[in-house]
A and B are shown apart, each in its own frame.
Chain A
């Protein structure tokens, strides 16, 4: 399991993933060699799986973000598989999540503007298989989005 040093390291690293190993070591209060070894070990154990660059879709001209909550027709045995496979083919879909609860699947969809959204919604979302109900929630703002784990 993780010890306190690992946790300190991950806390600092999550707070600023752009830190170099030297800067990270200093913030976590350990030597650079220890820091490097610890990071290697976290990677080897699969705790730290890598780093992703985050795209600013707004800067690329995508002004609209909509959360689509989908209920599937569960009388169809392949409802989930078919739906998910088809949703993966829609470029404007950024996230696909499945749930236990009132909602079966949530899709996070982006579009350039409302006209573009309308077009994506009609031609690519409503045509997805086995939908029995669909709700759309419009994003207004992200208040907190760092997705840091409280390690």
Chain B
């Protein structure tokens, strides 16, 4: 497990908001020299505290007006392998995330679509036809915020 000091936490918090910050700009903000900041960023990446970066895109401006979370329960466990289901569902471009969970259902999918008719098409033609799909519960996303987390 990686141990963080107070400066590491500041670096991580700043990069969570803006991963394109230069070591110089970030260093000025937290009171460190450019080379010292650069070494910290490098170390946090190498140790694995930072696992990558993500583009923040405006979904609506790109024409994706609808995001739906689907809770999928598999109907025929045992007959269909989880690997087959996972492979097939991951191949659907509109499915952004696939999470295997324990509880009310087996998988949670995050699906994007242009609008509700487009979502219906994805649901009927792609999701409902997946091997082993049983019950599907849908919740339409209204708002979403990411928090910095416990650092």
Contacts and interface: CB of A to CB of B under 8 A. Distances in A.
Given A10-B57, A46-B61, A55-B49, A142 B98 contact: yes
B55 A14 contact: yes
B51 A55 contact: yes
Contacts of B20: 50-51
Interface in A49-97: 49-57, 59-62, 67, 69, 88, 91-97
A144 B104 contact: no
Contacts of A61: 1-2
Interface in B100-128: 100-105, 107-108, 110, 112
A14 B62 CA distance: 13
B62 A2 contact: yes
A106 B47 CA distance: 31
A67 B97 CA distance: 14
Contacts of B50: 53-56
Contact of A149 (B1, B59, B105): B59
Interface of B: 1-2, 4, 12, 15-20, 47-59, 61-62, 64, 69, 86, 89-90, 93-105, 107-108, 110, 112, 137-147, 149-151
